[in-house]
């Protein structure tokens, strides 16, 4: 429920109402605005009815939130959220390009890849150290050693870093090395993991599960938000459909839809979304055109020798072209490249 107070209501009035909400067994939220204080009550809404808040002279209106996800919904917050990633803000008017290899392979590789990302205008460095591979025989990542290598590259090129976390017990260890967490498609509904990253203050890039509905994706975001971490970036990375020509079906309709329903920033992963190098640039432009707040792209100094996802990785020339081609689309969408 959203409880809008009258303009004359004071913070003390609000606190009184919040106390009643909490006593009724609901989670109280305090959201002071410029003109009015807005309160929230989360939980079993039948409990709220008994409070008769409408009868309070300081209450202007009591409205139910119609979506199953509450705190991440636009009903709860009309304006766009912005997430601080390094010294940049993601969401709200800028378009962020985060790039880097699928996996951190060695010192030379992550440094060369970071140099390419920096040189051509990327604002963040990606790289996996714990790789959730489909086959147990595929390269699984360098783990903590990889995080150390990425941290060096991140510092050397002043690029904040993001890496995938696959296990709740790794969160504290990984926090020392990286600026943001990625929760991958395979873990979107790993609720213990969502809660664990929700208890940190680091930005979380939450990727859509390969067969997750938009509602399930936003409910997964709600888990993180509900733990107190509001620094969430939603990522559309394609879903599994009957189509086999592309690795996944990149659901850009979901981007436009989520932007109407949630205040969280939304980015697109055209690399995993298509699985085909030649399609990464066109779909990056499409992402900008449909209102995304950025992209996360796989870049490798030499995709031919990449230990994972080489066929969808861009080399320096391709990445430079992507950045150049993106500009007019970002401009047309009313944004600026971060």
Residue 272 lies near ligand PEP (rule: CB under 6 A) = yes
**297 close to 271: Cβ distance less than 8 angstroms:** yes
Angstrom CA distances, 128 to 15, 75, 97, 290, stand at: 45, 35, 17, 28
Instruction: Give the rounded distance of the alpha carbon of 283 from its chain centre.
Output: 18
Would you put residue 294 in left (φ > 0), alpha (ψ -120 to 50) or beta? left
Pairing of strands 94-100, 336-337: parallel
Report 44-103 residues binding Mn ion (CB under 5 A): 102
Span interacting with ligand PEP, options 37-45, 47-55, 62-70, 178-186, rule CB under 6 A: 178-186
- Per-residue binding string, Mn ion, 293-322, x by CB under 5 A, is ----------------x-------------
Q: Which stretch binds ligand PEP (CB under 6 A): 42-50, 179-187, 254-262, 325-333?
A: 179-187
Stretch that binds ligand PEP, among 9-17, 88-96, 182-190, 253-261 (CB under 6 A): 182-190
Q: Cα–Cα distance between 102 and 141 in angstroms, integer?
A: 10
Find residue 63's DSSP bridge partners.
2
Taking the least distance from each CB to ligand PEP, the nearer of 128 and 294 is: 128
Apex CA 306: angle with CA 157 and CA 139, to 5°?
A: 105
Q: Which one of residues 184, 203, 275, 294 is an interface residue with ligand PEP (CB under 6 A)? A: 184
Q: Is 128 in the site for ligand PEP (CB under 6 A)?
A: yes
- φ, ψ of residue 27 to 5 degrees: the values are -85, 120
300 touches ligand PEP (CB under 6 A): no
Q: Is 5 helix (H, G, I), strand (E, B) or coil?
A: strand
Which of 10-18, 41-49, 183-191, 252-260 is the region at the interface with ligand PEP (rule: CB under 6 A)?
Answer: 183-191
Smallest separation (angstroms) from ligand PEP to the CB of 184? 3
By the 10 Å C-beta count (0-12 exposed, 13-18 middle, 19+ buried), 37 is classed as buried
Closest separation between CB of residue 138 and ligand PEP, Å?
11
Q: DSSP characters for 186-251?
A: GGTT-HHHHHHHHTS-S-EEEEPPTT--HHHHHHHHHHHHHTT---EEEEE--B--S--SSSSB--
**Residue sitting closest to Mn ion (CB):** 102
Q: Whose Cβ is closer to ligand PEP: residue 40's or residue 209's? A: 209
Q: Can residue 164 be called a binding residue for Mn ion (CB under 5 A)?
A: no
Residue nearest to ligand PEP (CB): 184
The pattern of x and - marking residues 186 through 225 that bind ligand PEP according to CB under 6 A reads: x--------------------x------------------
Please answer whether residues 228 and 199 qualify as being in contact, where contact means their C-beta atoms are separated by less than 8 angstroms.
yes
Given candidates 70, 170, 230, 237, which one binds ligand PEP under the rule CB under 6 A?
Answer: 237
Residue 21 tokens read as 């909400």
Restricted to residues 105-134, the positions that interact with Mn ion (CB under 5 A) are none
Residue 188 vs residues 82, 95, 220: alpha-carbon distances, Å: 21, 24, 7
Q: Which residue, 28 or 127, is less far from Mn ion as judged by CB? A: 127
Distance CA 110, CA 104 (A): 6
Tell which one of 102, 239, 306, 338 touches ligand PEP (CB under 6 A).
102
Binding ligand PEP by CB under 6 A: which of 125, 185, 283, 307?
185
When CB distances are held under 5 to 8 angstroms depending on the partner's kind, the choice from Mn ion, ligand PEP, none that residue 207 binds is ligand PEP
Provide the binding-site residues for ligand PEP, judged by CB under 6 A: 102, 128, 184-186, 207, 237, 269, 272
Provide the binding-site residues for Mn ion, judged by CB under 5 A: 102, 309
């Amino acid at each position: 429920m959203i409880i809008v107070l009258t303009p004359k209501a004071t913070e003390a009035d609000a606190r009184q109402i919040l106390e009643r909400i909490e006593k009724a067994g609901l989670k109280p939220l305090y959201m002071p605005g410029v003109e009015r204080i807005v309160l929230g009550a989360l939980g079993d809404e039948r409990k709220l009815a008994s409070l008769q808040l409408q009868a309070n002279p300081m209450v202007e209106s009591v409205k139910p939130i119609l979506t199953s996800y509450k705190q991440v919904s636009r009903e709860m917050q009309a304006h766009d959220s912005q997430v601080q990633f390094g010294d940049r803000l993601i969401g709200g008017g800028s378009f962020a390009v985060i790039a880097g290899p699928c996996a951190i392979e060695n010192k030379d590789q992550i440094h060369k890849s970071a140099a390419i990302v920096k040189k051509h205008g990327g604002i963040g460095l990606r790289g996996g150290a714990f790789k959730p591979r489909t086959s147990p025989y595929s390269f699984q990542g360098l783990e903590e050693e990889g995080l150390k290598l990425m941290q060096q590259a991140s510092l050397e090129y002043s690029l904040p870093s993001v890496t995938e976390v696959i296990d709740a017990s790794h969160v504290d260890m990984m926090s020392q090395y990286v600026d943001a967490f990625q929760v991958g498609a395979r873990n979107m509904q790993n609720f213990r993991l969502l809660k664990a990253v929700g208890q940190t203050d680091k930005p979380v890039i939450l990727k859509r599960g390969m067969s997750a509905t938009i509602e399930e994706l936003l409910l997964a975001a709600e888990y993180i938000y509900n733990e107190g971490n509001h620094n969430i970036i939603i990522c559309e990375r394609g879903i599994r459909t009957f189509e086999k020509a592309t690795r996944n079906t990149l659901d850009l309709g979901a981007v436009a839809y989520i932007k109407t329903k949630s205040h969280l920033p939304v980015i697109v992963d055209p690399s995993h979304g298509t699985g085909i190098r030649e399609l990464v640039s066109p779909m990056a432009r499409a992402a900008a055109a449909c209102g995304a707040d950025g992209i996360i792209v796989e870049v490798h100094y030499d995709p031919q020798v990449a230990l994972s996802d080489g066929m969808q990785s861009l080399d320096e020339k391709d990445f430079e072209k992507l950045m150049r081609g993106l500009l007019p689309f970002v401009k047309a969408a009313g944004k600026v490249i971060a």
